[in-house]
Amino acid sequence: MDGTTEVLEAARTSLASVAARPLSLLSDAELVDTARLVEDAGRLIDGLRVGAAAEIDHRSRYELGAEGLAKRFGHLRTAHLLEQVTRASGKEVNARLRLGGQLTPQYALDGSELPAAFPIVGAALTAGAIGVEAADLICRILTQAADRCPPDHLAKAEAALVQNAGEYSVDLVAVQARLWRDALDPDGVPPRDAEIRAKRGFRIGREIDGIARFSGACGGIELAELRAILARYTNPRTLPAFLDERAASGCDGEGDGGSDDAGTAEPLADDRTRDQCNFDILLGLLRAGATADQQRPGPGGTVVITVKAEDLHSGIGTGWLDDVLEPASIPTVTAELCTGSTRLLVEGSDGEALWLGRSKRKFTPAQKTALAARDGGCIWWGCPAPPSWTEAHHALEHDRDGPTDIDNGCLLCRAHHVLLHQLGFEVKMVDGLPYLRAPAEIDPQRRWRRAGGNRNQINPAA
């Protein structure tokens, strides 16, 4: 006995007493020092966790047979023994074993000892100089070049990265590790790119309770493009084309609170999450691409929405979309009809088909260009969505014989297009310009306010 367990038991008791003290009683300086010291202690503990797992694995190696440590405790695998003893998850236990195998000597089938793959990382982890996350990252990335570079070059990279891990964040160390890897093995970069690209994919899962989950994978150029596109449209500083700051804020420089102008209208906050914004952006771009593909034969992705006449008239109820199990609300159906990629099938009370809407109701590209110049993007007060991310909406609904022309059209982003129908907002055209009116619960006076952001409509004197 070297007293290891006694020391650890004493340390655990001391840490338990510290943990029982309210951190709220500490001064600012003491709290910051506590966070630093706790992290230092945690790194030492993590190093011991990995080391203990690696040593148990060594004593449980296959060639020992029934004399292996795990089998003597009634387990076929080291991981099972560690899960029982530590109460850690299988994922965590396997991660410790994998890292421990890189940091400690291994043994060949003849019993001869092989040096550790990354001894410098192992020493730093044991000393608490770096954490498990940094150690795992260095080993994982350098392993990709280990078989194709001289050992002394690999050792230099390992030493440099360990030093960096003691000074910088793990994210910065990851960048540096990849630079070292590509410098050690420049010929491996193209194969790695091909391997990454081969893993790209996109899949849509089965619909459950109205929700279909989708997932995918990509890397390299595609990842950069996706992030650039999302960043462009989610940047809060982004303003639409044809729209200046006064128009974006809902102020047109004219009128007072009692007029019919939009000058004093309060912008409505966008309460969508980042994930919801990302989804709306991707769907909008997919729609734009599908609409632009005029040469492809076939129906072009047209969806038929089936709805009962009484539901459509009352605005309450549901409609059914092709190949979707969960019904959609009437406001959602109404908003979807404006996109031009759907047709409405109206049924009677007994399911008889009363009317199939015309499929040709989309605004032409030239009309949308004119709407973009006039509206400056989404006409909703304070919305920064540019024209390229909007849908043309019929002020007088198309299915109520509203014409598809500029004097009956306005631009709305997808989110506000749905809100228009869901919340009871109204839009009308006055002398070829769009006006919005909020429902009574938002604006009891039900005032019509000028919408849109064409700079030519702003009073130059303002």
Each residue's pLDDT tens digit, 7-41:
999 999 999 999 999 999 999 999 999 999 999 99
The token pair at 74 is 């009634």
Among candidate residues 290, 268, 296, 273, the one with its CA nearest the CA of residue 381: 268
Other Cβ atoms within 10 Å of 336 Cβ, number: 22
Kindly compute the dihedral angle of the four CA atoms of residues 352, 355, 356, 360, in this order, to the nearest 10 degrees: 180
Cβ atoms of residues 86 and 78 within 8 Å: no
Task: Tally the C-alpha atoms within 13 A of residue 9's C-alpha that lie toward its C-beta.
Answer: 4
Residue 108 DSSP code: -
Higher pLDDT, 199 or 220: 199
pTM: 0.53
Tokens 């309060």 appear where? Answer: 266
Domain ranges of the chain: 23-195, 201-233, 238-289+363-457, 303-356
| pLDDT recorded at residue 90 | 92
How many Å apart are CA 162 and CA 180, to the nearest integer? 12
Tokens 């030239």 appear where? Answer: 366
- Torsion sign, CA atoms 379, 383, 386, 390: negative
**DSSP bridge pairs for 202:** 216
How many Å apart are CA 54 and CA 122, to the nearest integer? 11
Task: Tally the C-alpha atoms within 13 A of residue 84's C-alpha that lie toward its C-beta.
Answer: 9
Cβ atoms of residues 362 and 371 within 8 Å: no
- pLDDT per residue over 314-363, tens digit each? 777 777 766 566 667 777 777 666 655 566 676 666 555 555 555 445 67
- pLDDT per residue over 136-195, tens digit each? 999 999 998 998 899 999 999 999 999 999 888 888 888 888 888 888 887 877 677 677
Higher pLDDT, 285 or 42: 42
